Amino acid sequence: MDNIQETLIAQGKKARQAARILSTVSTTLKNQALLNMADQLEADCQEILKANGLDLEMGGQQGLTAALLERLTLTESRIRDMALGLRDIAALPDPVGETIESSRRPNGLDISRVRTPIGVIGIIYESRPNVTADAAALCLKSGNAILLRGGEEALNSNRAIARIISAAAIETGIPDGAIQLVDSDDRQAAVLMMKMHEYLDVLIPRGGKGLKMAVLENAVVPVIMTGMGNCHVYVDESADLAKAGPIVMNAKVQRPSVCNAAETLLVHKGVATRFLPAIIAELQADGVQVRGCPATQQLVPGICRATEDDWAEEYLELILAVKVVASLDEAIDHINHYGTGHSEAIVSENYSSVRRFLNEVDAAAVYANASTRFTDGGVFGMGAEMGISTQKLHARGPMGLKELTTSKFVIQGDGQIR
Amino acid sequence: MDNIQETLIAQGKKARQAARILSTVSTTLKNQALLNMADQLEADCQEILKANGLDLEMGGQQGLTAALLERLTLTESRIRDMALGLRDIAALPDPVGETIESSRRPNGLDISRVRTPIGVIGIIYESRPNVTADAAALCLKSGNAILLRGGEEALNSNRAIARIISAAAIETGIPDGAIQLVDSDDRQAAVLMMKMHEYLDVLIPRGGKGLKMAVLENAVVPVIMTGMGNCHVYVDESADLAKAGPIVMNAKVQRPSVCNAAETLLVHKGVATRFLPAIIAELQADGVQVRGCPATQQLVPGICRATEDDWAEEYLELILAVKVVASLDEAIDHINHYGTGHSEAIVSENYSSVRRFLNEVDAAAVYANASTRFTDGGVFGMGAEMGISTQKLHARGPMGLKELTTSKFVIQGDGQIR
């Protein structure tokens, strides 16, 4: 524990020093580093696969679920995708130095607001080793140093990836310390990171409820919570059911393990009889377990009762809670009460219902007549994402390069005093 | 204690409900409320002055300093200024509903990012009762509910102001609960607010080191730290000393008790002999106590030695630490090490020195050839300010209406699935 703390502080200091230099590094050099990192990932593919093999072997022994093992698994093609991701980020515009707004004040002062890096960013994540490369690349491009704390189950894979990309970055001229892995399988390391406010400007936890609770309890560093997704699809009285069916199926079934998948279906009582029996049959045919409110149970016999807990649950698997609501108001109230502020969709052809839903539902992303599954940095045109923020401060929704920056006011005068 | 907690939770719930409604209230109604609040402040001027008299009497008995009593004092003219502030805020554009960016994606989805209120904002502040009206008005205009926790020494004044403006807002049609005072002189109330993450979306503490420490220790609610100002003026080798003198005097002497006043003067060794004796004499003539590094002491005999603590201190009074530095690099390093990231100024006629200082100094506001005293929402064209953020997340520098908003992604489709 003392040892981890000392190591972390040493890493924090090194990151601070690197960040100071990194904030003034040219875009050209940063892009060269990203391309070099991509090339090295491909060149050292076998080394990464070998390390990943160790993780998979240990994971198998420790009885990780098939889903977790799948997320942990790297292949040549997945490593090529990682490299491709770095090249995509190299191709994006550099946010640093952009003048966001500017004005000349009456006293002759020129005041502009200029985008700058945040400084040192910490990220705590789980399972998928590609996050190591994605997060490091986004931080490098936005001029930030990063401390990466991946899941214990992926330590060998992350170690290999971080070693390769960090070496490639340094070789290109990026300061040592810009990309650092917190190389420890001790859970205490994550808790210590939450308290390193002298060295970390922000901490981004990507994970489930346990991690969120630990952050609420321990974090002194400013935090951006990501990826809590209890998402809803609301099928309005005036919905086009030919759109509603595919949207519900896509939101629930296409990839149930991700945060933008739907967990509850709300259906207006006016279309419940026409819509629910058919969609529930289709969901069940695709292996979805449906838990319904009493009205749903009446319409479709044999499904189990949804409890109060079900409305609040982020299943992340093939389970869907279903509730019949009396009105748009009841739907909006239900979502604002139980939702986690991630992604919420209405299916409706009624102009006023859509307008009210989009205005009144309090979430990072609100959809009219489209699947919640689109909430994603890539889909939104950001190239990649650091996570999907479900809080309101600083960044909300998918976080790309811009969301990894802050700003400073630059004031130029010729002797003005007050 | 249990009682305060129950009251606070009841206030939090009421604020949440009000915020939901407030987020959809029209700009016209919000402006009418602001104008009505301004009129009522003026109409009930005597009631406010009477309450303020009680605070001043108690403050006198408790031995508050003259400076604190001065900050606490209200007059007819100060109440008119408060009313004027509310009318100014009514005249500003409403940030809510602004589309920040939008694009049509290849699959036909229209994605836009729209400015929305944050929700419920808590503010903890001290002494000056006008903050009660300013903060409430900024939050109302930006569609947020507010919990106001002023200083114990101003409780009677704040109670009167909050009662008057809240009643005027409700009378205009603003939901009850939008403006609430935390009516307690128990310090525990502030600590409890720091933990109310279910009811507060953000907490803005305005105050000194003690409050900052309490926040670091207790806050679970996301916090925006404001107003920590250990500000520097650096006089470069190539400075125009005819500009440097007035800038140093203005930054230190014009209003020493505020966070954008200078606390340390850094002088390049190349101009120290020409500049320091004269400016120190001028500072001393205005009552400033100077604490110098050894080189400063050699140039100006009889001034006391600045210790390590002096470099880190935010005096907020007529004391100035002075250091001779060997280079621009030493100046930047000193500022980035000891500064609080508030306002930092260089006086220089050298293009490259100015450019490097503005780029490399890590602060909310960086100045070339102007006084640090300009860091202020009004001066920057924001109309008023909620505080000056010295952190990097969400808002940096003076916080006006825009900084009291967040955004949501609004996605409109016609049946798109992934």
What pLDDT, on a 0 to 100 scale, did the predictor assign at position A20?
A: 93
For B143-185, write each residue's pLDDT tens digit: 999 999 999 999 999 999 999 999 999 999 999 999 999 998 8
Residue at B418 is within a domain? no
Q: Which residues of B touch A251 (CB under 8 A)?
A: 417
- Which residue in B119, B246, B380 is closest to A417 by CB distance? B246
Which among A145-149, A209-213, A216-220, B388-392 has the top mean pLDDT? Answer: A145-149
Residue at A339 is within a domain? yes
- Which residue in A103, A370, A411 is closest to B365 by CB distance? A411
Q: What is the CATH number of the domain that holds B57?
A: 3.40.605.10
Same-domain status, B39 and B120: yes
Same-domain status, A73 and A92: yes
What pLDDT, on a 0 to 100 scale, did the predictor assign at position B139?
A: 98
What pLDDT, on a 0 to 100 scale, did the predictor assign at position A2?
A: 66
Cβ contact B297:B228 at 8 Å: no
Residue at B380 is within a domain? no
Same-domain status, A16 and A162: yes
Same-domain status, A69 and A132: yes
Verify whether the Cβ–Cβ distance A409 to B381 is below 8 Å.
Answer: no
Residue at B65 is within a domain? yes
Same-domain status, A122 and A32: yes
Residue at A29 is within a domain? yes
Verify whether the Cβ–Cβ distance A202 to B392 is below 8 Å.
Answer: yes
Same-domain status, B10 and B159: yes
Phi-psi region of A8 (alpha: psi -120 to 50; beta: other; left: phi over 0): alpha
CA end-to-end span of chain A = 52
- Which residue in A224, A363, A406 is closest to B408 by CB distance? A363
**Which portions of chain B are predicted below pLDDT 50?**
none
Going by C-alpha positions, the residue among A364, A6, A191 that lies closest to residue A205 is A191
What pLDDT, on a 0 to 100 scale, did the predictor assign at position B102?
A: 95
Q: Which residues of A touch B408 (CB under 8 A)?
A: 362-366, 396-397
Using CA atoms, how far apart are residues A85 and B177, in angstroms rounded to an integer? Answer: 48
Between B174 and A2, the more confident residue is: B174
pTM over 0.80? The answer is yes
Same-domain status, A196 and A52: yes
What pLDDT, on a 0 to 100 scale, did the predictor assign at position B217?
A: 86
Residue at A379 is within a domain? no
**ipTM of the complex in this document:** 0.93
Q: Which residues of A touch B373 (CB under 8 A)?
A: 417-418
Mean pLDDT of A9-38: 97
Verify whether the Cβ–Cβ distance B411 to A362 is below 8 Å.
Answer: no
Half-sphere exposure of A292 (CA within 13 A, CB side): 22
**Interacting residues of A2 by C-beta distance below 8 A, sequence separation 6+:** none
pLDDT at A119 over 60: yes
Same-domain status, B217 and B236: no
Which domain covers residue A37, as residue numbers? 2-226+386-412
Mean pLDDT of A68-96: 95
Using CA atoms, how far apart are residues A51 and A33, in angstroms rounded to an integer? Answer: 23
Report the gap between the CA of B299 and the closest CA in chain A (Å): 26
Which secondary-structure segment (H or E) carries B138? helix B130-141
Using CA atoms, how far apart are residues A193 and A123, in angstroms rounded to an integer? Answer: 9
Half-sphere exposure of B346 (CA within 13 A, CB side): 31
Cβ contact B372:B379 at 8 Å: no
What pLDDT, on a 0 to 100 scale, did the predictor assign at position A207?
A: 78
Verify whether the Cβ–Cβ distance B410 to A366 is below 8 Å.
Answer: yes
Instruction: Give the residue on B whose Cα is nearest the Cα of A253.
Output: B418
- Which residue in B251, B254, B413 is closest to A369 by CB distance? B413
What pLDDT, on a 0 to 100 scale, did the predictor assign at position B2?
A: 66
Residue at A288 is within a domain? yes
Report the gap between the CA of A293 and the closest CA in chain B (Å): 26
Average pLDDT, chain A: 95
Verify whether the Cβ–Cβ distance B417 to A393 is below 8 Å.
Answer: no
Same-domain status, A309 and A259: yes
Q: What is the CATH number of the domain that holds B285?
A: 3.40.309.10
Q: Which residues of B touch A418 (CB under 8 A)?
A: 250, 254, 371, 373-374, 379
Verify whether the Cβ–Cβ distance B414 to A369 is below 8 Å.
Answer: yes
Instruction: Give the count of domains, chain A.
Output: 2
How many contacts, defined by CB atoms under 8 Å, are there between A and B?
A: 199
Verify whether the Cβ–Cβ distance A417 to B220 is below 8 Å.
Answer: no
Cβ contact A22:A175 at 8 Å: yes
Q: Which residues of B touch A380 (CB under 8 A)?
A: 105, 111, 409
Same-domain status, B30 and B155: yes
Report the gap between the CA of B86 and the closest CA in chain A (Å): 22
Same-domain status, A100 and A222: yes
Same-domain status, A18 and A117: yes
Residue at B217 is within a domain? yes
Percent of chain A beyond pLDDT 90?
Answer: 88
Residue of B98, B203, B380, B408 to mutate when probing chain A, most A C-beta within 10 A: B408
For B33-81, write each residue's pLDDT tens digit: 999 999 999 999 999 999 999 999 999 999 998 888 988 999 999 999 9
